Structure 1
Amino acid sequence: MSVATVQETANAICLKGSTEILAEYFEYAVHTIIYQRGIYPSETFERQQKYGLTLFVSTDASIKEFVEISVRQAKEWIQKSLVKDLSLLMMDAHSHEVLERGEKRSKKPLKTIQAEIGAVLRQITSAISFLPLLDRRCIFDVQFVLKSSVESENIPPAWEELQTKAMPANPQTVPFRSFSTGLHQVDSGVSYKLEEEKSVMN
């Protein structure tokens, strides 16, 4: 085997490992956010230990299936370097207005990477202290923004090709910590809609 072939094989292994790390982070981040924001009843979640934290993961079969499908698709597109942006959307269940958007934009020891991911997930968990109450029925969705070179016929039928769903004008944006696998840099944050203040007169 030539030196070039060995290097190509090593790069492929590194890329696969980096993709797996990102996909696992995305999976736990989705479950953490929908739990923290009260999108589904807390009794439909179970505790799991990961990244040195106690995280909550949905036990609902339909939610687990949706997240697993999203994670599989994320792995495929990240490994092919097709993803520009990946967002988790919180939307009004009736109007589908986007109320919040969590973003993840795409050689260290694995322990260091996991510690960095743990720090990001701690920030996601603590964000509940400043995010506005979602006082209406909400749903969530996953949105991929792909590179312009991706042809429509290469998008699986299960995924709709739509215009990017944007936040209302002038959202509040809070950046979270970044982490890097050495091959991929992930910058996370949350944008949310500020509710208009209501005045009351006697």
Structure 2
Amino acid sequence: MATSQAPTRQAITLKGSTNLVTEILFQRGVYPSDDFHMVKKYGQTVLVTQDLALENYLDRILKQLNKWLLTGSVTQLVLAIISKDTRLPLERWVFDVNLVEQPADSTEPTPAKPESEIQAEIRYILKQIVSTVTFLPIIDTPTVFNILAYTHDSADVPADEWVDTDPLAIEASKSQQVKLRSFSTDLHRIEAMVAYRYEG
């Protein structure tokens, strides 16, 4: 990757990542609604947490994620919602991260994707996250969440903040999956889906 292009090409922004995670935590009731307030971003109203501990945690985790995104080190991000009592994973929000490759025979760099277009795509996926409450099972038990990052072996992983862990998968026989809208920047294409525990 040419370093001269890095400052001008649009990557997934830290704010964009934070907004997606915050929206999921709010919509799925992981934190009380009083812990959030509305602000205007991406041309629409989005949620921001007022819980200082949660804000600091997300800031620390997502700053590292941002570094991995910019170096092409991360391949997948998972937000797992887990039952606080049984520790069973109830939902897995999966974001597959694919690097957008420049055509090998191209001598000219690909034109930068307009920021307005990137923001529109983030708006669409935020709306889709909001709409998931219409089909995802109601969670009526206290929950916690875990953020999992899948990286290449060569990634620089801070040992004091990230550890190898259980993938928190939901058994295939008890899982339903819904593909969400994808979005892309100059550097990445993100394919999103949610898997949820379904015991019908």
TM-score interval for Structure 1 and Structure 2 normalised by the shorter chain: 0.7 to 0.9
Tell me: CA distance 1:63–1:185, structure 2 relative to 1, closer, same or farther (3 Å): same
Tell whether 2:8 aligns with 1:10: no
Show the counterpart of 2:161: 158
Cα distance in 2 between the residues matched to 1:166 and 1:184: 25
Tell whether 2:179 aligns with 1:189: no
Q: Could you tell me whether the CA contact under 8 Å between 1:84 and 1:146 is conserved in 2? A: yes
Cα distance in 2 between the residues matched to 1:53 and 1:149: 38
Gaps of 5+ in 2: 98-111
Max Rg structure? 1
Please identify runs of 4+ aligned residues in structure 1 that moved more than 6 A: none
Q: Secondary structure, in 3 states, of the residue corresponding to 1:18?
A: coil
1:38-96 CA distances to partner (integer Å, 9 max, x unpaired)? 11111111011112221222101111111111111101111221111001110011222
Show the counterpart of 1:175: 179
Q: Structure 1 stretch 68-77 or stretch 164-173: which is displaced more?
A: 164-173
Q: Could you tell me whether the CA contact under 8 Å between 2:89 and 2:168 is conserved in 1? A: yes
Show the counterpart of 2:38: 47
Tell me: CA distance 1:131–1:148, structure 2 relative to 1, closer, same or farther (3 Å): same
Cα distance in 2 between the residues matched to 1:8 and 1:172: 41
More helix by share: 1
Cα distance in 2 between the residues matched to 1:121 and 1:26: 11
Show the counterpart of 1:94: 85
Q: Could you tell me whether the CA contact under 8 Å between 1:31 and 1:57 is conserved in 2? A: yes
Cα distance in 1 between the residues matched to 2:53 and 2:169: 26
Instruction: Report deviation, 1:98.
Output: 0.9
1:5-27 CA distances to partner (integer Å, 9 max, x unpaired)? xx944322145x414x2x32210
Q: Greater relative contact order (Cα 8 A, min sep 6): structure 1 or 2?
A: 2
Count matched residues. 185
1:108-161 CA distances to partner (integer Å, 9 max, x unpaired)? 11101100110011000111111001111101111101123447xx43312122
Cα distance in 2 between the residues matched to 1:42 and 1:177: 25
Q: In angstroms, what is the RMSD of aligned CA positions?
A: 1.8
Alignment equivalent of 2:124, drawn from 119, 128, 148:
119
Identity %: 31
Q: Aligned letter for 2:6?
A: A
Q: Structure 1 stretch 167-176 or stretch 118-127: which is displaced more?
A: 167-176
Q: Give runs of aligned pairs for residues 125-140 of structure 1, distance below 5 A.
A: 125-140=130-145
Gaps of 5+ in 1: 1-6, 197-202
Q: Aligned letter for 1:127?
A: T
Alignment equivalent of 2:47, drawn from 42, 51, 56:
56
Q: Aligned letter for 1:10?
A: S
Show the counterpart of 1:199: none
Q: Structure 1 stretch 163-172 or stretch 47-56: which is displaced more?
A: 163-172
Cα distance in 2 between the residues matched to 1:188 and 1:162: 21
